[in-house]
Amino acid sequence: MIESSENSSSEEIKIIKDATCTFCGCVCDDIDLKVQGHKILEAKRACVLGNGWFLNHGVDTRPDCFIEGRPAPVEEGIERAAQILSRARYPLIYGLSDTTTEAQRVAVAIADWIGGNIDTTTSVCHGPSGMAFQGVGEVTCSLGEVRNRGDMIIFWGSNPAESHPRHFTKYSLMPKGMFLPNGRKDRTCVIVDVRKTKSARAADIFIQIKPRKDFEALWTLRALAQGIDLDPVEVEEETGNPLSLWQDLMDRMKAAKFGVIFFGMGLTMTRGKHANSEALLALTRDMNRYTRFVCKPNRGHGNVTGADNVVSWRTGYPFGVNLARGYPRFNPGEYTAADVLARGEADAAMIIASDPMANFSQPARQHLASIPYVALDPKDTPTARSAAVTFTVATYGINVPGTVYRMDDVPIPLRPAFESSHPSDLEILQGIERRVRELNRQMIRADS
């Protein structure tokens, strides 16, 4: 919804009601934006990260396209990108968590046409949880159910006060819900972490565990859920906390009406990885013998959940998918971007809304720097700077409409604030897909 008014300056101020913030996986869709021309003046109800997001995406005067660092027409960039991807023997498409679902669909199509490898930032985020979902399953719910029913909220290896600042107030702790008329007073909050983070201040119970001992702590709880006797000395030595504390937590969990465990990358990025997530998912499943319990990964990027959904619709697998044989194959560790690059396998790449040149291991970065690759990003990043072809694109949610998925798999529409002079990811990817298909046809004709 848009309301307009005049002010003293020449440009009209408009108010965009219920705009959607795509910075993090909370995807808050209740932000009122005050917009003047190509600038957002105010983002009402946005958190510190949302304010940073909305107030720092104004007009970018960089050219739409660079080839080998020199400004170039978009059409030339699309041609060069299509040539790079079509000629490669093992092309990699990676990123996708900060773009629209519509653009993600086209990226998967390109991977299919070129027989490439497609992976998303999920693989270096909750990819291990994705593996655990396949092994154990996920007892889950929407954030609306958490808001209205969740009376025992556990955060494990997650620090929403820094990473998802409105999580507590919008969904998990503060809201007065249908079955929680007193809001925060009706909920118990437990935080389990190796650090006493900013989030710990919000907890009724904070449990500081030893680093790299999440697996042991979760299995302690699994054993207690089953009523198995444990050695108190061993438990304290392994987890850093007395057995009585874990027993007390288990008693509270069993007494809850609707328990929720939100878990973060404290589990997935630490030794144990998918085994840690599996332990947590299995504990959640176990708890349903006594009461209702669900779990949810706290997802980072605005549409990383959309990336999982789209890649799953189109290939049957959520990330790390290889299409070289004409059908999808899934194997984390083999087809995931960090591995494909660190092992020096990919001979070309397209990076969409991601920055592996700043966030990947050194061997992976060194290999990416040695192959021709295409980058699409609204911002100047180390990855965008080193690409053979760079597209400066419009920002999703601020300039570009479309759909994103909230961390609980609920699709949310975007309500952009103003138009950008730059093309969208979707437009660039559609152009590359068209040209890749033409090149494919030419190659087939040449072969026959």
Partner 1 sequence: MVTEEFILIPGRTSRQGVGISEGKFESSYQEEIQSLQMAPSDMQRLDLKKGDRVRLTSEDGQIEVCIIPARTDELPAGLLFIAYGDLSSRLMGGDTHGTGMPTSKGIDVQLEVLKSA
> Within 13 Å and on the Cβ side, how many CA atoms surround 375?
26
Q: Is 386 in the site for partner 1 (CB under 8 A)?
A: no
8 Å CB contact between 246 and 221: yes
Q: Is 376 in the site for partner 1 (CB under 8 A)?
A: no
8 Å CB contact between 264 and 155: yes
Of 194, 205, 245, 324, the residue at the interface with partner 1 (CB under 8 A) is 194
Instruction: Quickly count: other Cβ atoms within 10 Å of residue 26's Cβ.
Output: 27
Q: Is 304 in the site for partner 1 (CB under 8 A)?
A: no
C-beta of 131 vs 283, nearer to partner 1: 131
DSSP 26: T
C-beta of 31 vs 253, nearer to partner 1: 31
C-beta of 165 vs 431, nearer to partner 1: 165
Site residue total, partner 1 (CB under 8 A): 59
Point out which span in 35-43, 285-293, 339-347, 436-444 binds partner 1 (CB under 8 A): 339-347
Q: Is 106 in the site for partner 1 (CB under 8 A)?
A: no
User: In Å, what is the CA distance from 200 to each residue of 150, 189, 191, 264, 269?
Assistant: 18, 9, 6, 14, 20
Binding mask 392-431 for partner 1 (x = CB under 8 A): ----------------------------------------
Of 45, 105, 379, 437, the residue at the interface with partner 1 (CB under 8 A) is 379
8 Å CB contact between 392 and 63: yes
Residue (of 152, 128, 100) closest to 291 by Cα position: 152
8 Å CB contact between 293 and 82: no
Q: Is 22 in the site for partner 1 (CB under 8 A)?
A: no
Amino acid present at 412: I
Of 29, 278, 339, 408, the residue at the interface with partner 1 (CB under 8 A) is 339
- In 3-state terms, what secondary structure has residue 60? coil
Angle between helices 243-255 and 214-225 (to 10 degrees): 60
Q: Is 135 in the site for partner 1 (CB under 8 A)?
A: no
- At closest approach, how far in Å is the CB of 40 from partner 1? 11
Please report where in the chains the tokens 């089953």 appear, as a residue: 226
8 Å CB contact between 172 and 26: no
Point out which span in 89-97, 144-152, 157-165, 249-257 binds partner 1 (CB under 8 A): 157-165
Point out which span in 107-115, 119-127, 135-143, 178-186 binds partner 1 (CB under 8 A): 119-127
User: In Å, what is the CA distance from 346 to each residue of 94, 331, 373, 444?
Assistant: 11, 16, 10, 23
- At closest approach, how far in Å is the CB of 217 from partner 1? 14
Q: Is 300 in the site for partner 1 (CB under 8 A)?
A: yes
Compute CA 33 distance to the chain's CA centroid, rounded to the nearest angstrom.
24
Q: Is 276 in the site for partner 1 (CB under 8 A)?
A: no
With b for 16 or more beta-carbon neighbours within 10 A and e for fewer, the 168-207 pattern comes to bebbbbebebeebeeebeebbbbbbbbeebebbebbeebb
Calpha distance 116→99 (Å, rounded): 20
Residues 31-50 interacting with partner 1 (rule: CB under 8 A): 48-49
Of 20, 100, 104, 163, the residue at the interface with partner 1 (CB under 8 A) is 163
- At closest approach, how far in Å is the CB of 328 from partner 1? 16
Residues 200-259 interacting with partner 1 (rule: CB under 8 A): 208, 211-212
- At closest approach, how far in Å is the CB of 333 from partner 1? 3
C-beta of 64 vs 119, nearer to partner 1: 119
Of 305, 381, 424, 430, the residue at the interface with partner 1 (CB under 8 A) is 381
- In 3-state terms, what secondary structure has residue 189? strand
Q: Is 296 in the site for partner 1 (CB under 8 A)?
A: no
User: In Å, what is the CA distance from 352 to each residue of 42, 58, 119, 173, 235?
Assistant: 28, 20, 11, 35, 45
C-beta of 73 vs 211, nearer to partner 1: 211
Calpha distance 211→197 (Å, rounded): 14
Of 131, 218, 243, 348, the residue at the interface with partner 1 (CB under 8 A) is 131
Residues that bind partner 1 in the complex, under the rule CB under 8 A: 23-24, 48-49, 51-53, 55-57, 119, 123-124, 127-128, 131, 159, 162-163, 165, 194-197, 208, 211-212, 265-266, 268-271, 273-274, 300, 319-320, 332-334, 336-339, 342-343, 355, 358-364, 379-382
